Chain A
Amino acid sequence: MHYEAPVREPLIIGDKSYHDITVDVAKPVETFAPKSWWVVFTLSLIAFLWGVGCILYTIGTGIGVWGLNNTVDWAWDITNFVWWVGIGHAGTLISAVLLLFRQKWRMSINRSAEAMTIFSVIQAALFPGIHMGRIWLAYFVFPIPNQFGSLWVNFNSPLLWDVFAISTYFTVSVVFWYVGLIPDFAMIRDRAIRPVTKHIYRILSFGWGGKAKQWQRFEEVSLVLAGLATPLVLSVHTIVSMDFATSVIPGWHTTIFPPYFVAGAIFSGFAMVQTLLIIVRKMFKMEDYITIQHIEMMNIIIMLTGSIVGIAYITELFIAWYSGVEYEQYAFLNRATGPYWWAYWSMMTCNVFSPQFMWFKKLRTSLVFTFIISIVVNIGMWFERFVIIVTSLHRDYLPSSWSMFSPTFVDIGIFIGTIGFFFVLFLLYARTFPVIAQAELKTILKSSGENYKKLQESNEHGH
């Protein structure tokens, strides 16, 4: 058994046995939902349906129902897209990268983090579809033989790279997530009493029997998938950033974008994980598994990535000045002092200044403060994308075409709709899926569980 130094904080609190973990994890699935769940679910469902209405209205009438114009041809649509993709980053990072680095603290959060990833990628994937003028021809973006003969996609276009990046990321994430879920589904299957439930979980668990060979394959597949998913963490947002970086628009045409976007994505992803886990932890009484230490770890990552993002902002400004390109200089000056100065300074405040509070241990271990900051960071990251997209476009090369953008109710409705859709999915997940990778967690109970650590300590002292 793996030995863990006693100085490390325990990752599972309380006097837990394997069975206790099983019971705790299976509880939300096996009991009826609390009232609070129903309230949040209803609200989310309403928001989701409203969004569906707005999307149908857009498809039926035309993109003109959005606030876009001849100069600003993307705004909330792509802002939301990038925002959701960014949020989707933390899950894979936690489950894949941290797995490779043998970070055991990931075990109690990776399931939910990855669920979040998948649900937010679903939201993100909506936008490239619905932002098309002719969504009914969306299949044109796939390199499939079509009825128009040898008409092929344009491999030079970053939008096409997006298609591949997002679909690959989504597929690998789903597979990775699902593989991890199999032993846990089997656990619920084994405990299920009602035949229908049992049957469903039987199908979902792929006949998992907990044999040694199965465990061995499980571990191998997890490792392979982690290896596959890790480059994706970097590639997806790199490619998304290339939608902008390969263009000629001042404020977009920037080589710093790939790392800057990846850092921003992890930043916002972790913030979203914080938001969700603080709720889940409370709602399902998972405090013993999602400990303050977990929260603190993630806060440190938020602080780090927030600072990287801050450096990126400042580098952009410096390079704009240093390049000597008048359009670039104006673009950045306009961001900070032009008509959208409020968006820029919202972004700066939320993304650069607010995470700096995490230097204080008292603040980064405070649940309330963490929750607030996690929301603030996500607001900031939404503004970042808005600033990049709208303020760069609205005043580019020729002043004759300078313009402004303002969202319509449809823009707002679709955005709210995706938030609703996301929570609908997440809440359904939280009641039907094991929210903690209990099978994995059990592997560290004896090395990182509080009671076992204490036992170990007393043994050591006993020597």
Chain B
Amino acid sequence: MTPFRSAALAVVGLAAFLALWEAAPRLDLINPAFLPPPSSIPAAFAREIANGAWPTAVVESLSHYMVGLGAGALAGVALGLATGMFAWFDSLTAGIVRLLRPIPGLAWVPFAIIWFGVQPSAAVFIIAIGVFWIVFFATQGAVRGVDRDLIEVAQAFGFRGPLARLTKILLPAATPGILVGLRTALGQAWMAVVAAEIFGVPGIGARMMQASSLLSTDIVVVYMLTMAGLYGLFDTGFVALQGWLLRWRA
């Protein structure tokens, strides 16, 4: 199939989906209060912008997202590198990892609220935990998979300490694997943003819960689409960054 044709089909599919969605509440197949037609969304969006709720919620959520992602990724890369580089540290932490790893990120919500209250830091904490595990395992695997021959090159040229090994070989060689983990984490963190905010930390999730309790489903849809848009933006940006960082690959 030509790229044009497949793009055209994608548009057709999307149009059919929207038409069906529009028809269902209009033909009273579904109560419009349960499913607002897409034509009502732009107006709802305009209202949310006009009353300032949308920009506020987006800025709040993005700040949770960025800080949580940054903290989780940093800790994941650091500990992933350490366990990948030092067998003793890997053994030392293996038991702890086995114990904590299976606990879903959202299971930390009670503690997040007890420790941080219904505060941005609680949302950041939840997001960071989810990101941490993904990035940790991706980094550890990438470091273990580094070609021993390249490490030997560094040794042959006199780079024999762990720091030199890390900066000259391990980190650049593991970058592709780490980036794959980070991209997964990028999506995972969005899920965590909503989940964390549904418990009341101000942001997109909290605003959605508010709207839903007032049966303003059109506003709920506005934020669902907002999240799809923001995630798309971040993922596109990340893929571009990844392409640039890995421009040395065939």
Partners in one complex: no
Residue numbers of A with Cβ under 8 A of B are: none
Residue numbers of B with Cβ under 8 A of A are: none
